Amino acid sequence: VLVIFDIRRYQDSLLRFAEKAHQRGVQIVLFTDQWLSPIARLARHVIAGRTAVPSAWDSSAALFVVAETLIVAVTRQLEAEGAKRIREMESLR
């Protein structure tokens, strides 16, 4: 599974990377803005959030809140197996 964050001013290099991953059968989870990244057509799951705010720059804060909420839910679902995987990942450092 490949998790990608892509909001407007989309990066061509990220699209090319996603295309290569998709061609290899990798499932993509995309966090994107309300306009939808071009990667959306490749993604298994698309989580779109509002990024437009009354300032010169868009804000990705809402997307990160959703991502962290999803991480908590997955961690709770995996329970002991998730803790084991985290320990294994940490041991690689």
**DSSP code string of 7-41:** -SS--HHHHHHHHHHHHTT--EEEEEETT--GGGG
For 55-74, what is each residue's pLDDT tens digit? 888 899 999 999 999 999 98
Residues 6 or more apart in contact with residue 88 via CB below 8 angstroms: none
d(CA 25, CA 92) in angstroms, rounded, equals: 25
pTM value is 0.83
Asked if residue 37 has pLDDT above 90, the reply is yes
Sheet of 2-6: strands edge to edge?
2-6, 28-33, 45-49
Position 56 scores a pLDDT of 82
Catalogue all structural domains in the chain, each as residue range(s) with its CATH number: 2-91 (3.40.50.10490)
Percent of the chain with pLDDT over 90: 70
